[in-house]
Amino acid sequence: MVIDDEELILSLAENILQKENYNVILADSGEKGLEYLSDNGGNIDLVILDLHMPGLSGPETLRRIRLISKDLPCIFSTGDIFDVDIIPDELLVNTFFLEKPYRSKQLTQKVNEILKF
């Protein structure tokens, strides 16, 4: 699942991951991503999450994801890797980082590494 408020990022990530034969679910807000996870959490292997979003922020979305699925791997995607300091340590278990803008190879390597493909 990719949760990002930027349509261009959603489309880019979807295209990259589908070329690698991943099924991709898109959500343009933390709220929509959480709604899908609540209903279908067992079908999600990984979440790629924007750090900065209007409405429900990335860290708050991650906090709520951890209530639904404590061990679900999540990748925070951000344009400023130094912003990760705003994430509480207790949320960082099984959480990874990918700096924007990323290239398709960087994204697929990170996803494959986490999912052990």
* Residues of the domain holding 33: 2-115
Q: Name the pTM for this structure.
A: 0.91
Q: Convert the pLDDT of each residue in 46-102 to its tens digit.
A: 999 998 899 999 989 999 999 998 889 999 998 766 565 667 777 777 889 998 889
Task: Please count the structural domains in the chain.
Answer: 1
Whole-angstrom distance, CA of residue 42 vs CA of residue 72: 10
Give kind and range of the element (H or E) at residue 106: helix 104-115
Q: Which residue has the tokens 């929509």?
A: 32
Residue 32, Cβ density class (10 Å: 0-12 exposed, 13-18 middle, ≥19 buried): middle
pLDDT at position 86 is: 67
Per cent of the chain over pLDDT 70 is: 91
pLDDT at position 79 is: 79
Q: What is the CATH number of the domain that holds 96?
A: 3.40.50.2300
What's the mean pLDDT when you consider all of the chain? 90
In which region does residue 21 sit, left (phi positive, over 0), alpha (psi from -120 to 50) or beta (all else)?
Answer: left
Whole-angstrom distance, CA of residue 50 vs CA of residue 16: 17
**Beta bridge partners of residue 26, listed in sequence order:** 2
Residue 40, Cβ density class (10 Å: 0-12 exposed, 13-18 middle, ≥19 buried): exposed
